Structure 1
Amino acid sequence: MLIEKIVGDFGDKRRWRQYKARVKGLPGPYRASAEALERYLIYFGALSDGSTMMTMLEDLADLFERASVDGTSIRSVVGDDPVEFAETFLRNYSDGQWISRERQRLIKAIDAAEEDDDGGEGS
């Protein structure tokens, strides 16, 4: 649809607003932690697929909502190294990262170069 190409996917925008409302509803320390992780995941993750990004963020909100309700401490959720937690969490969504497409592009280019070589190793 032309309008979605101009302003973006309406479904993802709706999901974004719903996600932000969920995070805003978290108790202070859980909200601050979720927002800090969101920032890191968005910058570090470089997700190019909006739907994958929203799924990841919704899962993050689920995690912190459950932790809040259960009274689970933030450190029990993220562990001693929040960076390691974030990067491990992100690996579950790697298909949406731009680097995944670049990895596939590299593999295809090398495969094509190998085919063009015609096996003439001694030429």
Structure 2
Amino acid sequence: MGIQDIIEGKRQWRAHMARVKALPPDYRIVYHEMQRYLFKVGPIGLTEGPLLPGIVDFFEEGVAAGRGVLELTGTDVAAFTDGLIDGSPTHADALQRTLGGRPAT
């Protein structure tokens, strides 16, 4: 990874976060909780993939439709987030393999 790749990645991340900041407060709160959770247990390559921008797209569509964030995600935001990464290899799975264990199912 060269310096240009790092600069481009930062530019994309800043643009992504600007979109998040433009969301209404309730959407931002839910997004940040989902992001925090995904950074802990989320799929490998999370920041390079389409998952986080896809969540923002989904939330922007909800705002445009005049729906509340919990109408989109349901009241169990953790279960909604788990559903987004279901079947994806996660950092927790990789750690389990490193330690010689099997990933929990």
Q: Same fold (TM over 0.5)?
A: yes
Q: What residue identity is the alignment partner of 1:3? A: I
**Counterparts of 1:102 and 1:47, CA distance in 2:** 14
- Percent of aligned positions with the same letter in both sequences? 29
Say which structure is richer in helix: 1
Q: If the length of structure 2 is used for normalisation, what is the TM-score?
A: 0.73
Secondary structure of 1:47's counterpart equals coil
User: Which ranges of structure 1 fall in alignment gaps of 5 or more residues?
Assistant: 107-123
Q: If the length of structure 1 is used for normalisation, what is the TM-score?
A: 0.64
Matched, 1:74 2:69: yes
Aligned residues: 97
Aligned pairs (5 A) from 1:44-123: 44-45=41-42, 47-48=44-45, 50-52=47-49, 55-91=50-86, 94=88, 97-98=90-91, 99=93
Larger Rg: 1
**Counterparts of 2:7 and 2:86, CA distance in 1:** 26
What root-mean-square deviation, in Å, do the aligned CA atoms of Structure 1 and Structure 2 show? 2.6
User: Which ranges of structure 2 fall in alignment gaps of 5 or more residues?
Assistant: 101-105
Q: Is the CA contact 1:78–1:85 (under 8 Å) kept in the aligned structure 2?
A: yes
